[in-house]
Amino acid sequence: MKKNDRNLIQKRKITKREGQNEQVICELDAINAWLKEANVKEKFVAKERYGKLRLANGQILGSRLSTSQVDNSLTRMQKWFKAKNTHAQASSTTTNSFYKVELTNKTYILVVYTPLINVQQVLRTQIRGKWESPTTLKVIEASQILDLVGIWSAEASKNIYVLRKHPGLAMLSAVESGKGDEGNDTDDSDSDEE
């Protein structure tokens, strides 16, 4: 098993019936457009796609594909990510699925996603935008993904807010952040002699 193969989880074969599905066709069109933009002349035939990807930091990024057959009310969603983009700023998106594209000289692990558009950074820590149409898909190499993010949608404004950790959390010690060994805490108030 190749190193990249260990990072892809939940393999699903693309059956003849699934290959005629509008969503799968849109995903494959997006991959072909990405390959053309990357000056790849080879044709590729997709035989399988994946539901999850293990990131470089060890976290698991899910996708719409991984949650398509699960009761979403009982699962924790981890399909939103922050990635480097060509304009050197991070963008946040929701993941549709993952593909391994094997060509003669190179193998690509690609992420098909729906981008967040009209992105605004109202305050220094607040990022918001709106989802693009579900059929408008983009592709990025998996190596460009920085981290998972959470989202919150405001029904009144139709905005999607990207949730990030407060930068001050990085300054906390392990004990202060709740990651320390709690079993070694002693209560000095009982040991005081009277």
- Give residue-wise pLDDT tens across range 151-167: 777 778 788 777 766 66
Structure confidence at residue 77 as a pLDDT band (50, 70, 90)? low
Pairing relation of β-strands 138-141 and 8-13? Answer: unpaired
Burial class (CB in 10 A: 0-12, 13-18, 19+), 169: exposed
Record the tokens describing residue 79, joined without a space.
Answer: 């399909």
d(CA 109, CA 97): 11
* Segment 19-29 mean pLDDT: 88
Put residue 162 in one of left, alpha, beta given phi > 0 → left and psi -120 to 50 → alpha: beta
What separation in angstroms does the CA of 78 have from each of 3, 41, 93?
23, 34, 11
Average pLDDT over residues 180-188: 49
Distance CA 69, CA 83 (A): 27
pLDDT over 50 (residue 146): yes
- pTM of the shown model: 0.72
Q: Is residue 82's pLDDT more than 60? A: yes
Say whether pLDDT at 83 is over 60. yes
Nearest one of 10, 24, 9 to 134, comparing CA atoms: 24
Residue 168 has pLDDT above 80, yes or no: no
Name the percent of the chain lying above pLDDT 70.
Answer: 73
pLDDT in tens, 86-140: 433 445 567 888 999 888 888 889 999 888 878 888 777 677 888 777 778 889 9
pLDDT for res 31: 92
Overall CATH class of domain 3-173? mainly beta
